[in-house]
Amino acid sequence: MKFSKPLLLLLLPLLWFVIPEGKLFTCDYSRAVFSSDDQLLRVWLTKDQQFRFAPSKEPLPKKYVTAVLTFEDRRFWIHPGIDPLSLVQSTLINMKSKQIKRGGSTITMQLARLSRPGKRNLQSKIAETCRALKISLWYTKKHELQLYAAHVPMGSNIIGIEAASFRYFGKSPKELTWAEASLLAVLPNAPGMIDISRKRQSLLEKRNRLLTSLKGRGKLSSTEYALAIDEPLPEKVSRIPFEAPHFCRFIMGNSRSESIHSTLDRTVQNGLEEELTRYRFTMHNMGVKNIAAIVVDPQTSSVLGYAGSQNYFDKAGLGEVDGIQARRSPGSVLKPILAAAFFDRGPFTPQSLIQDVPTYYGTFAPQNADRRFDGIVPLDQALIRSLNVPFVRLLDYYGTDQFYDLLKRNGVSFTYQSSYYGLTTILGGAETSLWELMQLYGALARNGEVRPLRYDRSAKDSIIDSICTAGSAGLTRTILTDVVRPEFEQYRATFTGKKGEIAWKTGTSYGQKDGWAIGFTGNLLIGVWVGNFSGEGNPAIGGAQSAAPLLFSLFNRFSLEHVALPATPTKEMDRVKICRESGFPSSESCPNSVIRHLPKGRLSEEPCRFHKVLSIDVSTGEQLCSSCWNNKSIRHDTLLIFPPAARLYRIQRGLSVDSIPPHSRSCSAVRSDRALELIYPTNGIRLFIPRNFGGIREKIYFSAAHRRADAELFWYLDNRYIGTTVGTAKLEVDSIGIGKHILFVQDADGSRATVSFQAFWRDK
């Protein structure tokens, strides 16, 4: 179909109008971070060095909209982009005065000019008018107004009302007064006064005329008008804010958004920084230079306060380093996570007994902080006292790979594979950050689900995974509220006022390089790290002595409205009969049982193995078995029997143990009960024998444990008798050769224990 030229000339403009306008502005915008109350925390200039915020998704302030439309474009909501009546009026006024006194541009026309700036002439005016019509065709009025407000020049390098509001008044646009909104409405219309510091009187008169107009149109009451007209112009632009620098840098590094309206509470942030400033002097006098702390709402995972160091501007103390994101050894802080996971798996309960004796895994021999052993302790007490040996044994039982996977699924970013860390993971051998730890502890404060820490209010709530069920989280919370450190309890009471209102845990890394303290209530989750960014150790660094005092100072400051910890959800748990003495599910031999609530679906319900019913010869008091109880008068005694090593160390600590009678000496049967246990060396160990300073090989100490403290033990190395011990169960050996060896120990009753090991000489 052919078209004539006149028809084509008519259709081309129409075609131009029906083609979508597309994006009006291609400029970049300032990146900015706002607090929870929408106050500016940090802003970055654009590439062309402007303060220019992206168009807000929130509605414009009503005061500003009323002021700018009254001043610039009263028929904005009804005209098609151009206002013919306004054009006629401005033309007549300008012709009468023989100079340009009034313009006829609408906000849409100004928007067209702002989006395609150029020379001001008749040709550009016609193009501007045409584009205004097209913009009005493709954009809603609200969108036009948003774009205009975001791109209108406001003096110097300040673009848009949001930038102007913060630079001139130090506040969010939604907090503008009538006087301030009117000033921002007239400012772009006065090119000669575009710098607010120039021609202030003329600018004030212009603003006041607009206020008078607003009053005359019924937009302002007499009181509002009187207050607005007396309000002075701002003396100078506000300083560019630089608040919560670590927080702003971190979230901007993890977001592509131009503006982030964060969860940060400025009151909490200011209080946090004040507490760190005060505490830094205490630590600095001890040679400890760095502190980091974070405050979180555990129910929403929202970050309320974030201080990556004692002072961002402390160059000598490496203050720019973000201690919340730095990866360090967490010491004992992961122990509650392992405990919670165990309560789900079973058979362990909070009261279950676990051995606290010298333990060897190859060359790795964990030690408790006080270098002492209790023999056997309940799991909850092991956690409260942060005993290392029981938790290494727990991790070995649980599985290092399984625990590694649990942590990794829930947000812990490991540098190496599980085999690299092994059993040291639970003692701080695997690095993590305070940020990651807060996510894990947030799960304990709730129902076991791990959620990402929220710093952007617009971010949707999500779940990473879970470390345990709600029941196990509740059991662990209960234990952590009973944490008592004798050297610290009086100091803690000074801050909290109530015992048990805070669930908390401390940790200290190897070499005292890192001190940690993390605690939570129903509405606060606080984490503290104390140490040196340079990695130096210091005797003053420790979870209890250096991190915990600050933790409780922060709780004291922010716990104005105490919210109790969530109750353990017993309705979602099973009622299980537990042995009162061992803490494991009761067996038929357990004489005393109690009912405890335990998580549903536990994988193991292995019953108590500590209670045993023994057949006793009434006349001699000796144990009997089926091979020797014929023709004997028998009674049945139920005893709580600990493993030999556990029994030995309980006796050494002055703790009670049941007296176990010896087996009948006349019985020739081989007994299956373990009366004797080799403690060191363990089976399969690689034993290195160093030289001392004199060049002589060091002595080796073999140790065992027997149920009877006075037992006589006979020691054999490679079938060669090497000595006898009575009571101590320790044998000193001057020297052994390199290679494989077999150690054999036997008591007078025939109970025996055997291990094989390899010996190596170490010269350095």
Could you give the angle at the alpha carbon of 660 between the alpha carbons of 655 and 663, nearest 5°?
160
- Each residue of 82-128: pLDDT tens digit? 877 766 666 565 555 555 555 568 898 889 888 887 666 666 677 78
Contact (Cβ atoms closer than 8 angstroms) between residue 594 and residue 632:
no
pLDDT band for position 672 (cuts 50, 70, 90): very low
> Phi, psi (5° rounding) for residue 635?
-125, 160
pLDDT band for position 428 (cuts 50, 70, 90): very high
User: What residues contact residue 523 under an 8 Å CB cut-off, 6+ apart?
Assistant: 297, 298, 299, 561, 563
Position 486 pLDDT exceeds 50: no
Of 132 and 146, the structure prediction assigns the larger pLDDT to: 146
Of 41 and 256, the structure prediction assigns the larger pLDDT to: 41
Judged by average pLDDT, the poorest of 209-223, 414-428, 440-454, 485-499 is 485-499
Of 610 and 749, the structure prediction assigns the larger pLDDT to: 610
Q: What's the number of CA atoms in the CB half-sphere (13 Å) around residue 525? A: 22
**DSSP string for residues in 539-557:** TT--IIIIIHHHHHHHHHH
Position 717 pLDDT exceeds 60: yes
Contact (Cβ atoms closer than 8 angstroms) between residue 538 and residue 493:
no
Position 496 pLDDT exceeds 80: no
DSSP bridge pairs for 703? 680, 730
Q: H-helix or E-strand containing 745?
A: strand 739-747
Residues 577-606: what's their mean pLDDT? Answer: 92
DSSP 76: T
Position 192 pLDDT exceeds 70: no
Position 222 pLDDT exceeds 90: yes
Long-range residue pairs from 91-99, CB within 8 A, at least 24 positions apart, any chain = none
- Each residue of 696-706: pLDDT tens digit? 667 788 888 88
User: What residues contact residue 21 under an 8 Å CB cut-off, 6+ apart?
Assistant: 131, 134, 135, 137, 138, 139
Position 576 pLDDT exceeds 70: yes
Contact (Cβ atoms closer than 8 angstroms) between residue 413 and residue 396:
no
State residue 272's pLDDT score.
97
**Cα separation of 107 and 147, whole Å?**
10
CA-closest candidate to residue 325, choices 353, 350, 294, 347: 294
- Delineate the domains of the chain, giving CATH numbers in brackets: 13-229 (1.10.3810.10), 243-331+447-460+480-568 (3.40.710.10), 570-599 (no CATH), 676-762 (2.60.40.10)
> Phi, psi (5° rounding) for residue 524?
-140, 135
Q: In terms of pTM, does the model score above 0.95?
A: no
CA-closest candidate to residue 340, choices 492, 442, 416: 442
